[in-house]
Structure 1
């Protein structure tokens, strides 16, 4: 019966499960940068020219409950979408630029998968903010951030979210699976965070972070279309 059903399919037809896979991955490609943009825009930790865990805790105390609830929900969802988005874009280049795509995947795997730890760190800030203004809380968040595990995650995350997209864009350009402008936008997007070293004294980080993720989001749209149109393995 299954063999007869399989033979009855039109020649060249793509099984529904493959279309579902491609739709899911294509949505992840664009939703990952979009949720990252929302995380940067709504997260209270970026709304000052100063940085650090103690500053983030102080800013969390001044944020509204609605902002924190929305930011937390978006961050939890984004922690799933962002790694899948970057890995899928790297996968697009695997056929024609296997080495670059593999290196990009490795960088993303090591650097971006710790993202849930930072979501948990933000949740800890929210819990402490609701408990009052105790100077001991400043010590707690600073010690937590300076812990060996979090120090490694911080360093890996910087590398993963900056070098990862840069390599992905180069791999996509080499593979010729997206327009050149999209590959350039993807590569340059997160490199723009280095401009914060120049403007950090008078421009809050939220603006720089939002611009970088917006650029990546724009570049990811052609990549998502390429994922949707990509032939299945069996074709």
Structure 2
């Protein structure tokens, strides 16, 4: 294996695992998830500053790794399942790109909470969060990346890159993420964490396959 190819595979393997891991850590430490502007600012104001900073940093790191990880998963199954890989890869990358904007919302809420009379910005945060641009980002993020990981689970298993249990973990993470939106506060966080944990677990064998010296399923 050429040195440059090995470096590329290592980077993609890190992205496959590191993206969901960063998202998982950020989600666990986030003081508020999809609540009203006032509740979000209040939660950030009372949150531990270090923990909150780690949560934002984890989301920022994840925003870079998640699209690369989706490209890596597509690369893994491209030779055996080119159409699934292409469609899943495009949906995955496009679906994860808005995550940086969504992560920026958490940074914005944290910044507002640190300002004097930060609660007065609640209406502005609500308006910004629910405007056309952010809702478009949210819809693209939800629809594209959830469909992508169903395709990845199928494609990677059929390509022989991951075992069946990993494929099911990856596939199951998508409907479970949708279920999470039916809950509020702690319930939403708990279900979302389980979904991300499944995504992480399903990605571990894929990352291992990516760094393997020789893998017949790779192009």
Query: TM-score, length-normalised on structure 2?
Result: 0.89
Q: How does 1:32-51 map to 2 (within 5 A)?
A: 32-46=19-33, 51=35
Question: Is 2:70–2:93's contact at 8 Å kept on the other side of the alignment?
Answer: no
* Partner of residue 99 from structure 2, selected from 109, 115, 119: 115
Number of the residue aligned with 1:71: 55
Tell me if the contact between 1:108 and 1:161 (Cα under 8 Å) persists in the aligned partners.
yes
CA distance in 2, matches of 1:128, 1:79: 22
Partner in structure 1 of residue 108 of structure 2: 124
Mapped partners of 2:43, 2:188: distance in 1: 13
1:5 corresponding residue in structure 2 = none
Show the counterpart of 2:199: 216
Q: Distance in 2 between matches of 1:202 and 1:65?
A: 20
After superposition, the CA RMSD in angstroms is: 2.2
Distance 1:53 1:112, change over 3 A: farther
In structure 2, what is the equivalent of residue 105 of structure 1? 89
1:228 aligns with 2:211: yes
Q: Counterparts of 2:148 and 2:213 in 1: how far apart (Å)?
A: 22
By how many angstroms is 1:34 displaced? 1.0
Greater mean deviation of Cα atoms: 134-143 or 94-103 = 134-143
Structure 1 residue 232: deviation in Å? 8.4
2:17 counterpart residue number = 30
> Which blocks of at least 5 consecutive residues in structure 2 are unaligned?
none
Partner deviation per Cα, 1:44-63 (whole Å, 9 max, x = no partner): 123xxx73444322321221
Partner of 1:9: none
| Structure 1 partner of 2:158 | 174
- Once residues 65 and 99 of structure 2 are traced to their aligned partners in structure 1, the CA distance between those partners, rounded to angstroms, is 11
1:83-141 CA distance string (max 9 Å, x none) = 11122112211111111111111212222101111121111111110113455411110
Aligned to 2:32, what secondary structure does the other structure show? helix
Q: Which has the larger radius of gyration?
A: 1
**Corresponding residue for residue 207 of structure 1:** 190
Aligned residues: 217
| Alpha-carbon separation, structure 2, partners of 1:27 and 1:197 | 28
Q: Any conservation in 1 of the 2:113–2:119 contact (CA below 8 Å)?
A: no
**Which secondary structure state, in structure 1, belongs to the residue aligned with residue 28 of structure 2?**
helix
Gaps of 5+ in 1: 1-13
| Aligned equivalents of 1:93, 1:218: Cα separation in 2 | 18
Deviates more, 1:167-176 or 1:32-41: 167-176
Is 1:184 the equivalent of 2:168? Answer: yes
TM-score normalised by the chain length of structure 1: 0.84
User: Contact (CA 8 Å) 1:90, 1:168: kept in 2 or not?
Assistant: yes
1:61 to 40, 45, 54: 45
**CA distance in structure 2 between the aligned counterparts of 1:195 and 1:147, rounded to whole angstroms:** 24
